[in-house]
């Protein structure tokens, strides 16, 4: 059986994470790598353009990493940190489609970025599985065209093909549903820990149905934010999740223990990205042990379209 390889790239704590996945009868993670980079996408992502002065530096750094790791994949995908991306959940009239829907989404973006032109953004949306005749709760994501163009130019410079540009938390969803299929009939809450903040989302029947971002603003205790999000879900969705899964920066065992005690949810875990996925024998063992740091990059590499 012919195999295809896909690479996923994520950005965490000023570093770049890379995962290569081989797709054939058995899906296998063939490469995991992490490296420092000049650009911190969380800080400068909104200012990137196709002719950014550090474009060539970024291409060289990524090319060197791919060469050093002997990456052979043809397709590459990127998971953006949430900081420079606009993400919201809004009610939309179900009758809006096509150009009418596009105009409404543009209007929404304009309310948050009145000083910018809506033409500066690539806007996408998809409806959440909540039936309501008057309004459908809808995810909307707006990415600055300059940042997308920067990544497109990067792919051209690497002589590869672009597969997907997504957001970190959304990319991790694929890793979750692949590795924990037996609990998908229950509500699961996914928490992404990052520098200066945290992402939280509800996975209902194997699909993300809610998302919130939290900023620490000097108080970097994730337990408080996690309890706040669980209270919000109880009020909004009447949801009592069966499991909490964490990914992103360091997820120490004492944090997991504290969360189990604070929430009463026994299935509170640092995500194991290799629970149901085969790992190459060549992978760096400490990366496998801390696979939650690569959950987003692996999730991208698992997606072939």
pLDDT at 165 > cutoff 60: yes
pLDDT at 206: 84
pLDDT at 266: 93
Number of C-beta neighbours around residue 15 at 10 A: 14
pLDDT at 218: 65
pLDDT at 134: 72
* CATH-assigned architecture of domain 4-82+145-173+275-301: 2-Layer Sandwich (3.30)
- Cα–Cα distance between 259 and 269 in angstroms, integer? 9
To the nearest 5 percent, what fractions of the chain are helix, strand and coil? 35, 30, 30
pLDDT at 279: 96
19-47: pLDDT as tens digits:
999 998 889 999 999 999 999 998 899 99
pLDDT at 94: 85
**pTM for the model:** 0.93
pLDDT at 144 > cutoff 60: yes
Pick the closest to residue 78 from 4, 3, 17 (CA basis): 17
Domain 182-270 has CATH 3.30.70.1530: no
pLDDT at 130 > cutoff 70: no
Q: Which residue in the block uniquely carries the two structure tokens 């903040």?
A: 197
pLDDT at 132: 63
Q: DSSP of 207-242, one letter per residue?
A: EEEEEEEEE-TT---HHHHHHHHHHHHHHHH----S
pLDDT at 133: 64
pLDDT at 110 > cutoff 70: yes
Pick the closest to residue 73 from 23, 144, 15, 122 (CA basis): 23
Domain with CATH 3.30.420.40 in the chain: 4-82+145-173+275-301, 182-270
* Consecutive H or E run containing 198: strand 197-204
* Consecutive H or E run containing 255: helix 253-263
pLDDT at 216 > cutoff 90: no
Q: How confident is the model at residue 185 (pLDDT cuts 50, 70, 90)?
A: confident
Lowest-confidence segment of 110-119, 148-157, 289-298 by average pLDDT: 110-119
pLDDT at 131: 58
pLDDT at 240: 84
Q: How confident is the model at residue 13 (pLDDT cuts 50, 70, 90)?
A: confident
238-295: pLDDT as tens digits:
878 999 999 998 898 999 999 999 999 999 999 999 999 999 999 999 999 999 999 9
Q: Two tokens at 92?
A: 């939309």
pLDDT at 2: 58
- Percentage of the chain modeled with pLDDT above 90: 74
pLDDT at 137 > cutoff 60: yes
């Amino acid at each position: 059986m012919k195999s295809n390889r896909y690479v996923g790239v994520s950005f965490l704590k000023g570093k770049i994470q890379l995962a290569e996945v081989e797709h054939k009868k058995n899906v296998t993670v063939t490469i995991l790598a992490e490296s420092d980079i000049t650009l911190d996408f969380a800080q400068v992502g909104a200012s990137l353009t196709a002719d950014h002065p550090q474009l060539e530096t970024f291409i060289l750094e990524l090319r060197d990493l791919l060469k050093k790791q002997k990456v052979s994949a043809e397709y590459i995908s990127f998971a953006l940190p949430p900081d420079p991306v606009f993400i919201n959940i809004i009610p939309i009239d179900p009758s809006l489609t096509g150009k009418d829907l596009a105009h409404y989404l543009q209007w929404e973006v304009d309310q948050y970025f009145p000083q910018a032109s809506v033409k500066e953004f690539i806007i996408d949306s998809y409806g959440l599985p909540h039936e309501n005749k008057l309004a459908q709760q809808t995810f909307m994501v707006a990415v600055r065209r300059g940042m997308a163009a920067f990544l497109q130019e990067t792919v051209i410079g690497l002589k590869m093909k672009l597969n997907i540009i997504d957001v970190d938390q959304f990319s991790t969803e694929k890793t979750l549903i692949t590795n924990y299929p037996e609990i998908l009939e229950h509500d699961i809450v996914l928490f992404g820990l990052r520098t200066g903040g945290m992402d939280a989302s509800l996975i209902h029947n194997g699909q993300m149905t809610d998302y919130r971002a939290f900023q620490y603003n000097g108080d970097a205790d994730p337990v408080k934010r996690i309890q706040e999000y669980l209270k919000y879900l109880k009020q909004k969705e009447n949801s009592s999740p069966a499991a909490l899964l964490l990914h992103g920066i360091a997820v120490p065992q004492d944090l997991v223990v504290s969360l189990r005690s604070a929430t009463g949810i026994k299935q509170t875990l640092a995500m194991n990205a290799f629970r149901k996925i085969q790992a190459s024998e060549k992978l760096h063992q400490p990366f496998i042990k801390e696979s939650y740091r690569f959950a987003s990059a692996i999730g991208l590499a698992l997606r072939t379209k």
